Amino acid sequence: MGIYRYVIVGGGMTADAACRGIRDHDTDGTLGLFTSEAHAPYARPPLSKALWAGKEEDSVWRGTSELGVDIHSGRRIVLLDLDARTATDDAGETHSYERLLLATGGAPRQLASGGDDIVYFRTLDDFRRLRALAGDGVRVAVIGGGFIGSEIAAALAVSGCVVTIVFPENGIGARLFPRGLSSSVNDYYRSKGVDVVSGELVEEIVRDGSTFRLTTSAQRLIEADTVVAGLGIVPKTELAEHVELAVDDGILVDELGRAGRDDVFAAGDVARFPVPALGGTRRVEHEDHANTHGRCVGANMAGANESYDHLPFFYSDLFELGYEAVGDVDSRLATVEEWIDPNRKGVVGYVDGDGRARGFLLWDVWGKVDDARALIRSGAATDGDVLRSLLD
């Protein structure tokens, strides 16, 4: 039995950041980290970007073990007892804590057909599997036009694969980008040799020897040697639900990251947290949030008492296109746009019914995230002048 002051369930970027937050305030409290993956914490964003562009795999490690952390990899926590303050792992060992963090992230959403033959791209092992399958002339069907689908389609195309990307929306990134931008990204992918199939759902996947046959809602047949899917994630809340912590599309936490008790915390992709600058709560699945929320909540586990009031930003790279974004970047909101070069370099503002800034998409515009944050916090009306100020 392990006896720890702090137990962290999960081994992602949030878990690593939480260890750092704890160590900022408590240099020697015993700290045990349990992760169901076979690896110590690593950075996920390079898995769909830099590692395909030649960056060494070794660059992903976060160095968590240097923080004086007992890392138990390949150990899933299966049971919590909040009264006894214990966590039991899948080897049947029970570990005690004074403070517990749930940083369990999310599991990829899966299709009804295809089973384990489909690569649901999320982990380092998924990257290794896909890297081994990819190569010149290999036909890959990528299902999903969101973050993971669009990035991995670009990475595979650059690696010589013959890529078809298929998704139900009208355009790549359609849940974020205004319609015109999203359809121009479709055209851009086509210009890079990717077959873009928009507005169609994959309804069935059948394997015939080494060939996969995908049938879409428009009865289109797509043949592929490999199928990759990026359909979003479902937050891993089972442990929290089992001990009756409040859950609503994520574990509900307060501004300190507490999940309804002083000794249980949650952070990162799995947590739903208050966002004073925008009102209400959000659950954010991005790197900056994993790092900052994880660090802040870790600090609070060690008694820092710091409210989380950060507006996390996110970013993506699509071939040579790239962007940063902050706030509510949601194509269901009204938008105002200002382009230096249409759909290549410019700013999109997302506004509420009163024209006030909710979010900004900075398309090939760099170093402006803090200015965009300040505009959102100020509640200023967003017009052409405001957008142009982000392009200066």
Ligand X SMILES: Cc1cc2nc3c(=O)[nH]c(=O)nc-3n(C[C@H](O)[C@H](O)[C@H](O)COP(=O)(O)OP(=O)(O)OC[C@H]3O[C@@H](n4cnc5c(N)ncnc54)[C@H](O)[C@@H]3O)c2cc1C
**Which one, 36 or 343, has the nearer CB to ligand X?**
36
**Which one, 348 or 386, has the nearer CB to ligand X?**
348
**Which one, 106 or 144, has the nearer CB to ligand X?**
106
Determine the Cα angle at 346 with ends 341 and 350, to 5°: 140
By three-state DSSP, how is residue 58 classified? helix
Judged by CB under 6 A, the stretch of 62-70, 101-109, 171-179, 208-216 that binds ligand X is 101-109
Binder among 36, 150, 164, 331 for ligand X (CB under 6 A): 36
The amino acid at 68: G
- Beta carbons of 99 and 263 less than 8 angstroms apart: yes
Distance CA 349, CA 36 (A): 40
Binder among 20, 122, 368, 373 for ligand X (CB under 6 A): 122
**Which one, 273 or 350, has the nearer CB to ligand X?**
273
Asked whether position 324 contacts ligand X by CB under 6 A, the answer is no
Asked whether position 239 contacts ligand X by CB under 6 A, the answer is yes
DSSP annotation of 19: H
**Which one, 39 or 213, has the nearer CB to ligand X?**
39
Among residues 170, 177, 182, 164, which one has the least CA distance to residue 229?
164
Cα separations in angstroms, 270 against 152, 171, 218, 249:
23, 28, 35, 8
Residue with tokens 């990819």: 134
Asked whether position 328 contacts ligand X by CB under 6 A, the answer is no
The secondary structure element, H or E, covering residue 372 is: helix 369-378
Binder among 15, 143, 155, 357 for ligand X (CB under 6 A): 15
Site for ligand X, residues 275 to 304, rule: CB under 6 A: 285-288, 290
Site for ligand X, residues 343 to 382, rule: CB under 6 A: none
Binder among 19, 31, 37, 205 for ligand X (CB under 6 A): 37
- 372: tokens are 């965009």
What number of other Cβ atoms are within 10 A of residue 388's Cβ?
12
Binder among 4, 7, 12, 216 for ligand X (CB under 6 A): 12
**Which one, 10 or 171, has the nearer CB to ligand X?**
10
Instruction: Draw the binding track, 140-179, toward ligand X (x: CB under 6 A; -: no contact).
Output: --------x-------------------------------
- Beta carbons of 32 and 86 less than 8 angstroms apart: no
Asked whether position 339 contacts ligand X by CB under 6 A, the answer is no
Residues at the site binding ligand X, with contacts judged by CB under 6 A: 9-15, 34-37, 44-45, 47-48, 76-77, 103-106, 121-122, 148, 236, 239, 268-269, 285-288, 290, 314-316
